[in-house]
Amino acid sequence: MNAIEVDDLVKRYGDFEAVRGISFRVKRGEIFAFLGPNGAGKTTTVHVLTTLLKPTSGGATVAGHDVVREPDAVRRKIGIVFQDMSLDSELTAYENMLIHGRIYGLGGNELKDKIERLLKFVELWDFRDRQVKTFSGGMQRRLEIARSLLHEPEVLFLDEPTIGLDPQTRAHIWDYIRAMKEEHDMTVFLTTHYMDEAEMLADRIAIMDHGKIIAEGTADELKGLIGNDVIYLRIKAPEELRCLKADFIRGCKLLPDGRVRLDVENAAGALPRLFELASSGGIKILEVTYHRPTLNDVFLHLTGREIREDADEREAMKVKMRTRMRMWGRRR
């Protein structure tokens, strides 16, 4: 059985279509990642799957239950770590865990033991009586992960679990995610705009952009969409910049930043031939880089843009500040 099944899901905010007809399956026990830039529609999808938003059209089941018709059955089986912090910062770590557990119907010694085990698991047991507002971002994230596991969900949603954290803390959180997946045998649905995160954690990845899934598969399958190696060139050509053509070049693309991207079988063998080709055509090569394809190259290949552009990041921060100030509306 599939843990998540989504068919032709559409979500509109007013006139704006944030999710534009996506379909996918997540198998039981796998870690599935949504990879995409800010504004792709990842959080919106998570909110629909976790019953917080009603889809505009299309349908979804999570853990075998329909998210619209059986929201309570879905809620009992899922855990979620929201993109934005959702702890009660006035309360202590322990109190946050206790309240969550009791809301999910747990109690007594069973709950106490679980809280202790999970707080130890995320290494916050020694800080259990400190108010959450004194915690660092990484500590808050760890507490949220521990909290989401308290009621032993079948399907766990992690919306950008390491956004805004430093590299060390991120690696640390990846360790927890892998360890808890091993221990609890659950399905994990994760969203991220960090390609390394998707690559490190996910069994399968769906690349999302502008509300659509543009590719789906394992990291290797996705990279297979390009070629074996990728070469980036900055060149000065006598005429207008064109794509280079030769039998050893499997793909060529002019990038908006003025560079040329070539997909080749083997960069080491291709480079000498490339220089020959250039000099015979009167082209001056100003800069060469090459590497094995990354998911970013895949994204670039599919969309012509990078997943993470700095402008994107800054824009995202602005959007985030704005949404923080925007309050919740009401269902009509």
Residues that bind other proteins (CB under 8 A): 13, 47, 50-54, 72, 75-76, 78, 80, 82, 84-92, 95, 99-100, 102-105, 107, 131, 324-331
- For the record, the structure tokens of 299 come out as 């994204």
Q: Which of residues 301-330 bind ligand ADP (CB under 6 A)?
A: 319
Q: With CB cut-offs between 5 and 8 Å by kind, which of other proteins, ligand ADP, Mg ion, none does residue 107 bind?
A: other proteins
- In terms of CB distance, is 47 or 75 closer to Mg ion? 47
Query: Which contiguous run of DSSP H or E holds residue 262?
Result: strand 260-264
Closest CA to 50 of 40, 63, 32, 38: 63
Q: Which of residues 151-170 bind ligand ADP (CB under 6 A)?
A: none
Q: How far is the CB of 36 from ligand ADP (least distance, A)?
A: 6
- DSSP one-letter string for 183-249: HH--EEEEEES-HHHHHHH-SEEEEEETTEEEEEE-HHHHHTTT-SEEEEEEEE-SSS------TTE
- DSSP one-letter string for 108-163: HHHHHHHHHHHHHHTT-GGGTTSBGGGS-HHHHHHHHHHHHHTT--SEEEEESTTT
Residue 213 corresponds to which amino acid?
I
Q: How far is the CB of 143 from ligand ADP (least distance, A)?
A: 22
Binding window for Mg ion (CB under 5 A); candidates: 19-27, 76-84, 195-203, 222-230: 76-84
For Mg ion, the binding residue among 26, 43, 170, 192 (CB under 5 A) is 43
Q: With CB cut-offs between 5 and 8 Å by kind, which of Mg ion, other proteins, ligand ADP, none does residue 75 bind?
A: other proteins
- In terms of CB distance, is 96 or 162 closer to ligand ADP? 162
Binding window for ligand ADP (CB under 6 A); candidates: 11-19, 178-186, 231-239, 248-256: 11-19
Q: How far is the CB of 180 from other proteins (least distance, A)?
A: 19
- In terms of CB distance, is 94 or 157 closer to Mg ion? 157
Q: How far is the CB of 224 from other proteins (least distance, A)?
A: 37
Closest CA to 317 of 13, 15, 39, 11: 39
Burial class (CB in 10 A: 0-12, 13-18, 19+), 1: exposed
3-state secondary structure (DSSP) of residue 98: helix
Binding site for Mg ion (CB under 5 A): 42-43, 83
